[in-house]
Amino acid sequence: MTKAEILIIDDEPQIRKLLEITLVSNGYLVKTAVSAKEGLIMAANHPPELILLDLGLPDESGHIVLQKLRQWYTNPIIILSVQKAEEEIIKALDNGANDYLSKPFRTGELLARIRSVIRNISNEERETTMDFEGLTIDLVARTVKKDNQLVKLTSTEYNLLALLARNEGKVLTHQFLLRAIWGPGYINQSQYLRVFIAQIRKKIEDDPNRPKYLLTESGVGYRLIAAR
């Protein structure tokens, strides 16, 4: 069974080599980046299952990289840093890091942390059916029902609705949705979203002009909630 792909963003060659040897020997696929710019490009072009991020990058603060990643990237991010101050750890976690490990670290502990965050994501994904008071989304069967009647969606419509469902109640920005569904080359193509959101509303809402499930946050994005 192929394990997750991990992207290492770290400018220290010795650390990158240690991490690569450790991860590959434990069955993970590994890619490495030596700067913030390179790491952001690699993450956008081929999103990995997990990112190991150093805070002390040569071209930009790892905190800024973390904030940029969390505009669209939803998979786990573990911080590896020589910075041990409590405020730095809190700042990283508040900015969306899943875990924080100080350098030097024990490889066994790192592997355990990686297994933990990946296992948590897998457990979330096993929540197969989501109910929004009349609207039911089955994430395994990839089906949607409204009042127990099957709703026919295109693949893209379903992917967009499922992404919103997995983030129930959370506002997802236009940029996040465009990057997640269509890729980084489409982050300025907001017309894609308008068209697909309108199509989905026609299929799941009683009145598409007064939506109860799929709400617009003006100038920001969309969120999916249980009908009010």
pLDDT in the model for residue 124 = 58
Q: How far apart are CA 96 and CA 161, in angstroms?
A: 23
The CATH number given to whatever domain includes residue 40 is 3.40.50.2300
SS3 216: strand
- The confidence score (pLDDT) of residue 53 equals 97
| pLDDT number for residue 186 | 81
Question: What is the rounded CA–CA span in Å between residue 113 and residue 101?
Answer: 9
Residue 32 to residues 8, 58, 105, 175, 184, Cα–Cα distance (Å): 5, 15, 19, 25, 20
Among 77, 109, 125, where does a domain finish?
Answer: 125
Residues 107 and 137 in one domain: no
Q: Are residues 49 and 66 in the same domain?
A: yes
Point out the domain boundary residue: 87, 109, 125: 125
Please choose, from the candidates 152, 167, 156, 162, the residue with its C-alpha nearest in 3D space to the C-alpha of residue 202. Answer: 152
**Between 190-204 and 155-166, two packed helices, what is the crossing angle to 10 degrees?**
90
pTM above 0.85, yes or no: no
Q: Can you tell me the distance from the alpha carbon of 129 to that of 17, in angstroms, rounded to the nearest whole number?
A: 42
Number of domains in the chain: 2
Q: Do 90 and 138 have their domain in common?
A: no
65 shares its domain with 170: no
Residues 6+ apart with CB under 8 A from 24: 30
120 and 135 belong to one structural domain: no
Quote the strand ranges of the chain, DSSP E. 5-9, 29-33, 50-54, 77-81, 99-102, 129-131, 135-138, 143-146, 149-151, 172-173, 214-217, 221-224
Please tell me the predicted confidence (pLDDT) of residue 190.
Answer: 86
Question: Is 118 in the same domain as 169?
Answer: no
Query: Which pLDDT belongs to residue 111?
Result: 94
Residue 1 CB partners (closer than 8 Å, separation 6+)? none
Which residue range is the domain that position 52 belongs to? 5-125
Q: What is the CATH number of the domain that holds 174?
A: 1.10.10.10
pLDDT of residue 1: 45
Report pLDDT for 121. 67
The predicted-structure confidence for 199-222, as pLDDT tens digits, reads as follows 999 999 999 999 999 999 888 889
The pLDDT, as a whole number, for residue 95 is 82
Residues with pLDDT less than 70, the chain: 1-2, 120-127, 228
43 with 110, same domain: the answer is: yes
Write the pLDDT tens digit of every residue in 59-98.
999 999 999 998 888 889 999 999 888 888 888 888 888 8
CB neighbours of residue 151 within 10 Å: 18
